[in-house]
Structure 1
């Protein structure tokens, strides 16, 4: 079975390959093609993968290419993990937004809109090439903003594109651990959009254990989301929000923390990863060890500004384990390729699951997965406070899609202006002008 990874020079690719190395079952992936527009990054990641596979004789064969058509032709699965504009683009997104006093995070607020406007046209082109050259392939989308990009690709690929994110997985695992439950068998009632969802229940043997957690102040304060949001606010919501909702519920504090930080998250990662890729230019450098060191630092500093804004200090060791998006991807591939039925939280088309959104809207919910793809599970209606956020952000995503499809500056301005974290149409206009001046990839936004 052939797996193509677009964005194959990306830093997290070794996580995916490591998961593949642990799969020895019949029908597993035997060929991996890495595609990237940067040949040096491809070479660096290929070195890491070669060291990972050194002691395993049946490791999947790895090839690299900068030719998109060559990469996707005849693929069984395509992982899309691209970053249009690179980390320099992310750092610029953050800087331009913060100069206007609004959030510049890569998936939330102004930064997420700018990233989406750059990425959607590229993702749509990829979807068209996959449809032409590998029409039976399944596309698993890692590219952020994951829900928006998945919806853009679904307009061409339909239900054969599925988005994944490790945030709900990590949240469910942490809540289960605090409750003494097995995350692998507990039913996680989670619903929303990508990076805008709530864990509303955790059922063990048919019993919802979340009320027990919400009643226990000490337990609520013992894990990442409890420390970020505070026990009182979680009890008020009656749910555990995805960590990215901290940007909405504590926006002023977070923006201030980002403005006062020594450098933004994007600038930090740009500098950190540049050091890794530069080191990989030395032929004798130990690639896998260098990658592990860089990964550990990356995970330890995740959402540092939010924790500073909340006054909760550094992440606990228990929270440093990644959500396991590579494991989600492998489970998804197994379920589809081998009909190993499972339940996963995924980004898929709504199909009536949430009545407040239309059928084509991509949402993030538990899904039953089998050889026919991912099928969203029926969920209880959203409370009004969640309806407001979900419908507002979905409206923003639709404006981004309209802007990308028609090259409309007016729709781009509307996307920024409608976002709950952008408080002025005037600011929205300045953001569009600032981002267009910074990013050549936004030059297409010319139509009024």
Structure 2
């Protein structure tokens, strides 16, 4: 199997070492000759890069070359695959995305509601410029983007790069949920197939079966409704916030048992309940800053100081493996089935054709071949049309510098709805994002 060259954009991310460990564990699926980390935050990436160099020398001896850089030509030229995981504004701006809505009695979450809008407007210009930069250097690389909020970012990218079939927007949440399904069923997650429809962070599993055709859907609903439902992937299993999220998902299955929900639907189906659980003094961003971020950089210091990874717990996770197996299917034309984000164009005929829907697809050298979903029932159609209208208005507001469209978007969003709250939170978010947002008229 031909070896590939991979670049990870956002090399200074706290997720990078885990992704590298997943690459090591998945070397048979996606053998690599070179790995390059690219980041504009040189000091942050340097610490990750030095630790990564030691990790790869120990655990990936067949890798021919590793480097970390802030030079785009070095990073993008000749790459076969480019993973993109940027966070414009960093965790400190994410904290404001979460705090400001909470202060207005709203859901404070980085991809949903007012916080997601805030993050999306920051991410759009950087992502557009990044893709332009990549394509000015490398026309052929597969660019797999999992930058959040994927719904808003993906819609903006589709507007600017409508014909770039080697640019795919991916979310790992469906596979993280499926990992919990697999463990409940005592199955291998890679032996399960899902029928799924929706928008990013706003969708439903309609069928879960194994590759031999056994349908687990009814059994799975029964098990979830009558037992604890917990996150089981290593990255989130011991996180109290994710444990609470999966508990709420159990409630969703009890209330709406037709389909199995994406966990993010909790914010839209129970916005008042979820907003009351949150604290502006202990946001999810603050938990990450004081938790995972501190732990990862402490681990990096230890690895660098002792010049090995002994007694350091670094392991791959479903997030990294999912991206890697998607890349392998594209590069090696495996035509395996994954849930990805793509333009609707009749996949769900009773939704707008220009919506970016999240559905199963076969992935090969020609890109994504999505499966048709067909028309969806009224309840789900209504929810999705409303959410897509919000996403579309946010993207239009960015390109048109239109304050009114942002206000309309927030009034439509199920986590906000109230016009006065929408005005107040929008004005506060604008003040916080003056360095990043366009000037609004």
Using the size of structure 2 for normalisation, the TM-score is: 0.86
Per-residue deviation, residues 244-284 of structure 1 (Å, max 9, x unmatched)? 1111222222111103x750101121233553476456852
Which of 12, 17, 20 is equivalent to 1:14? Answer: 17
Per-residue deviation, residues 46-73 of structure 1 (Å, max 9, x unmatched)? 1231232132321352222223454223
Q: Equivalences for 1:134-283 in 2 at 5 Å?
A: 134-155=138-159, 156=161, 158-204=164-210, 205-216=212-223, 219-224=226-231, 227-230=247-250, 233-234=253-254, 236-259=256-279, 263-273=282-292, 275-276=294-295, 279=298, 280=300
Q: 2-side partners of 1:286 and 1:252: how far apart? A: 50
**Could you tell me how far 1:289 is from its partner in structure 2?**
7.0
Which of 116, 119, 129 is equivalent to 1:115? Answer: 119
**Could you tell me how far 1:125 is from its partner in structure 2?**
1.0
Relative distance call for 1:48 and 1:356 in structure 2 (3 A) is farther
**Could you tell me how far 1:97 is from its partner in structure 2?**
0.7
Residue 379 of structure 1 is matched in structure 2 by: 373
Residue 32 of structure 1 is matched in structure 2 by: 35
Relative distance call for 1:276 and 1:187 in structure 2 (3 A) is closer
Residue 343 of structure 1 is matched in structure 2 by: 337
Relative distance call for 1:417 and 1:232 in structure 2 (3 A) is closer
Relative distance call for 1:291 and 1:361 in structure 2 (3 A) is farther
Per-residue deviation, residues 307-360 of structure 1 (Å, max 9, x unmatched)? xxxxxxxxxxxxxx95x1211111111111111221011112223111233333
When the two structures are aligned, how many residues end up with a matched partner? 419
Alpha carbons 1:346, 1:364 under 8 Å: kept: yes
Relative distance call for 1:255 and 1:76 in structure 2 (3 A) is same
Per-residue deviation, residues 65-120 of structure 1 (Å, max 9, x unmatched)? 22345422332221110000000010011111111111120011111110001101
Residue 300 of structure 1 is matched in structure 2 by: none
What is the root-mean-square deviation of aligned Cα atoms in Å? 2.7
SS of 2:92's equivalent? helix
Residue 46 of structure 1 is matched in structure 2 by: 49
Which of 90, 97, 100 is equivalent to 2:94? Answer: 90
SS of 1:348's equivalent? strand
Unaligned segments of structure 2, at least 5 residues:
232-244
Using the size of structure 1 for normalisation, the TM-score is: 0.85
SS of 1:158's equivalent? coil
Residue 237 of structure 2 is matched in structure 1 by: none
More moved, 79-88 vs 275-284: 275-284
SS of 1:47's equivalent? helix
Residue 240 of structure 2 is matched in structure 1 by: none
Alpha carbons 2:225, 2:250 under 8 Å: kept: no
Say which structure, 1 or 2, has more relative contact order (CA 8 Å, 6+ apart). 2
Alpha carbons 1:118, 1:441 under 8 Å: kept: no
Alpha carbons 2:12, 2:39 under 8 Å: kept: yes
Relative distance call for 1:289 and 1:96 in structure 2 (3 A) is farther
Relative distance call for 1:286 and 1:437 in structure 2 (3 A) is farther
Residue 79 of structure 2 is matched in structure 1 by: 75
Alpha carbons 2:14, 2:296 under 8 Å: kept: no
Q: 2-side partners of 1:7 and 1:61: how far apart? A: 19
Relative distance call for 1:396 and 1:222 in structure 2 (3 A) is closer
SS of 1:440's equivalent? coil
Residue 364 of structure 2 is matched in structure 1 by: 370
**Could you tell me how far 1:192 is from its partner in structure 2?**
0.9
Per-residue deviation, residues 174-202 of structure 1 (Å, max 9, x unmatched)? 22332344432332112111111111111
SS of 2:415's equivalent? coil
